[in-house]
């Protein structure tokens, strides 16, 4: 029996840095013994099946090591099972993110966010942008009514501020990734 996973790579193919061609990413994942490997977009979204149910954190570490060996630079990876990704989509606290998918994001965290870091943040400092941490503390949802480009909140959604490795996807990408893991 196999379990389907989504791997989200952080900080690749941005501004000509940390280039990870999707064909090579598929080769790396296939070389690890994963099956039915597929990628979405050029921003580091992959879906694969692995035998039995494996811990997503251990899978992320395995993928990170293989990518560092293959490409010669570190790449942070967050892994979710298909069920965890479905739960993240269903838990979005904002009304109708599909109406403005580019203005809604999900930041996937490798572990739980540091509650002290979040408690120290005054949400009024980021208005009109808003964010909400999921109940489990491993996804942070954000809404950028004026877009992410000039947002003061967007830079907050990283490891330095959250206390854990993080990678962000817009709502459109998240729902496309869910469709891919469920196909």
Q: State pLDDT tens for residues 23-62.
A: 999 999 999 999 999 999 888 999 999 987 889 999 999 9
**pLDDT tens column, 103-158:** 999 999 999 987 777 877 888 989 999 999 988 889 999 999 999 988 988 888 88
- For position 96, what pLDDT does the model report? 94
DSSP secondary structure string for all residues of 69-109 = HHHSS---EEEEEHHHHHHHHHT--SS-GGGSGGGEEEEEE
CA distance 97 to 102: 9
Q: Is the pLDDT of residue 3 over 80?
A: yes
pLDDT greater than 90 at residue 163: no
pLDDT at 73 over 80: yes
């Amino acid at each position: 029996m196999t379990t389907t996973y989504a791997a989200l790579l952080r900080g690749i193919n941005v501004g000509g840095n940390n280039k990870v061609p999707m064909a090579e990413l598929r080769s790396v994942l296939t070389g690890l013994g994963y099956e039915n490997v597929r990628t979405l977009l050029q921003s580091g979204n992959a879906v694969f099946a692995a035998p039995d149910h494996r811990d997503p954190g251990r899978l992320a570490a395995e993928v990170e090591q293989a990518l560092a060996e293959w490409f010669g630079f570190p790449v942070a990876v967050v892994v979710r099972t298909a069920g965890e990704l479905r739960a993240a989509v269903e838990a979005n606290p904002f009304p109708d993110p599909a109406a403005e998918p580019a203005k809604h994001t999900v930041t996937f965290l490798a572990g739980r966010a540091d509650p002290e870091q979040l408690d120290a943040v005054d949400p009024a400092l980021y208005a009109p942008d808003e964010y909400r941490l999921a109940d489990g503390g491993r996804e942070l949802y954000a809404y950028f009514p004026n877009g992410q480009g000039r947002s003061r909140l967007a830079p907050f959604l990283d490891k330095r501020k959250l206390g854990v490795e993080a990678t962000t996807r817009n709502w459109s990408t998240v729902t496309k990734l869910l469709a891919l893991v469920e196909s």
